[in-house]
Amino acid sequence: MTAHTTQTELKLIGKLILEGELHCETGLHIGAGKGSLEIGGSDNPVVKDAQGRPYIPGSSLRGKIRSLLEQFSGAAVPAELVYLSRRKGQEVRIHQSDQPNDEICLLFGRNAGRLERVVGEPLDTHHATPARLAVFDAPLEIESISASMRENLDDELTEVKNENAIDRITSQANPRTLERVPAGARFRVRFIMDVLCDEDAPLFGQLVQGLRLLEDDALGGGGSRGSGRIRFANLKLTWRNRDFYSSGAAQKELLTAADLAALQNLVTESSMSFIKE
């Protein structure tokens, strides 16, 4: 836990900007919903931008990181979860607490108000806190889909994975198709964390931990069936303090062309002391 209290004063100290590449080790499926189904197309298309190019929504990446951090910290249990939606078949449950030093709520933000817990009495949250972390949509690097890869794709930029669901009584096969961005594709990722007080420093370590957890988990759908294995590479970490915004002072490059292990070592060894320089 951090040293935040209800009396902690929030005033922008600076911004940590983490940029890099997300490499698909296996095919990646982040669904667009069946509303975009075309004749002859996949049952489960991937989300695409206005130019028809697959991308990773920032909300998908941010939500997965939060989910993994909740599981890691033991907060993904009924007593720690509240309902964001109770629509049947579309329930959404996330962790939220009223503790001023709750790192997940500080990193991802928290609204004041009354929320129904999954188990127990409703939660009356009195401490609204701004989200420190912004995760941006990650565009596809088109050149990562090579000419040789395109020769074997079902579409210009995507593949179709055929799967079967087997009825356990009749052994009848029920085929389904899953559109995926192929293994070898790269996306450009960008994370920005606002540092609003000295006590925020440990929160960046939470982000790095979440990214490391994600590398050993899966992003998007079909993760238990082989999809969604990813890796982060060529990471660059930049610190921009108040003077950067007020007077055009130089930013400070803290790390370049790094992997997550190097990033975590920097965070651990420096104890984030550079935010006070």
pLDDT band at 43 (very low <50, low <70, confident <90, very high): low
Give yes or no for a contact between 273 and 254, defined as CB atoms under 8 angstroms apart: no
Residue 90 pLDDT greater than 90, yes or no: no
Tokens in use for 77? 């249990």
How many Cα atoms occupy the beta-carbon half-sphere of 29 within 13 Å? 21
The residue type of 73 is S
The 10s digit of each residue's pLDDT in 68-87 is 999 999 999 999 999 988 88
pLDDT at res. 1 = 67
pLDDT of residue 85: 86
Query: What confidence tens digit (pLDDT) does each residue in 133-177 have?
Result: 999 999 999 999 999 999 999 899 999 998 888 888 888 888 888
Ramachandran region of residue 177, left (φ > 0), alpha (ψ -120 to 50) or beta? beta
CB atoms closer than 10 angstroms to residue 84:
12
In the block, which residue shows the tokens 């449950």? 93
For residue 233, the cross-strand partners are 21
- What is the value of pTM for the model shown? 0.92
Mean pLDDT of the chain: 92
Q: Is residue 117's pLDDT more than 80?
A: yes
pLDDT of residue 88: 84
